[in-house]
Structure 1
Amino acid sequence: MEAESPQKVQRPFKICNSTREIRKGIVALSLEDLTSKVREKLDIVNDNNFTVVLEADGTEIDDEEYFATLDANTSLMILAPNHKWVPPYPTCNLSKDQVDDANNKGDELAGLVGRLKTNLCHLSLLGGPELELLSDMDPDSLADLTYPDKIFLDQLKEASGRFLCEKRQAQDAMDLLRLYQEKEAAESEAN
């Protein structure tokens, strides 16, 4: 008597590319079926290798047995040979254009607040001018139109003021240390 193999059922999966800019839905029966459909949906040339990983943590899926354990609607990432998995966090883009127009401060402030609302940990990476802009802001002026969460704006203003104060204290300490070292060097040359 032959052992019956469990009947495979097609399951839906969410796939994306390594930048998470392209997202598609695919229904697949097996890992092999998924890879062939990925090639078709993402226009990947047949001779081009790619890796399938879990979008959440980058675990590579390279065999049918592991693939069979995945739940329906699992998010998968397709990595080209030269790409690596990165966590799904917003990137910290601190580059910006300098504008001579003083009226543009409101736009700059609104953009800065928007970036920090997305990922508040970037506050510690800001420089003096950005921290000054945040610590001098009027939360009421932004709370009306741009960001209705006034509590967040108040806390952001207070935190940026603290970071600015700490940066200034650290800079003052470095300046004092530099002066001390210059004095020591001058005294040692005199002797």
Structure 2
Amino acid sequence: MTQFLTPALLAEAVLDTPEAGFTALGGLASGPAARTSDGAALRVLDIVTGRVASALTNTTTTLADMTGLGLPVVAGGVYVFEFSGTYSSSATGCYIAAAINGPSLGASGVIVNHHLHVGVGADTWHNGCTNAFAATNTPAYVIAANTATPWRLDGSVEVGASGGLLVPQFARDSGAGTITIQAGAWGWLLRIA
């Protein structure tokens, strides 16, 4: 039998003189957009997500944006992020090159690690990390031609003087062939400052 939950309305609790050790838990009256940061300015874009709707291909060594995963960032914001999915290569010697691109970099820049999970005992990380926009990270590994291989880009970024989109990119690093990002790849970013 189907069960339904009764909707509940959460309200902010105001306590004049709470007893020691007592904390109040309440919900914001206006939803997530009313969340404050540092007690002053509103932050609408605390966490955003994206998803690849259909397969993306690249037959060149020129980086291309992963359509659907461009996520909005604001000038001066500091974010942590993760983008993940599966890719395949049309040839075993054709490796993925991945990067992050964005509008501008702040003082602490961007740090991105590229990880391929290819089975028990066979994971690979790029040797080092990307620390600039549109700079490639290339773990040289493909299980076999036309075999889905999980990938992940994770890191942090301080946005500079202009906001825009933070977007993962991909290309073919070496060899001849086509790199395909499968539909369903996803990503999120969280503003921390």
Higher strand share: 2
**Do the two structures share a fold, i.e. TM-score over 0.5?**
no
What TM-score does the superposition give when structure 2 sets the normalisation length? 0.26
Structure with a larger share of its residues in helix: 1
Greater RCO, CA 8 A, separation 6+: 2
Give TM-score scaled by structure 1 length. 0.26
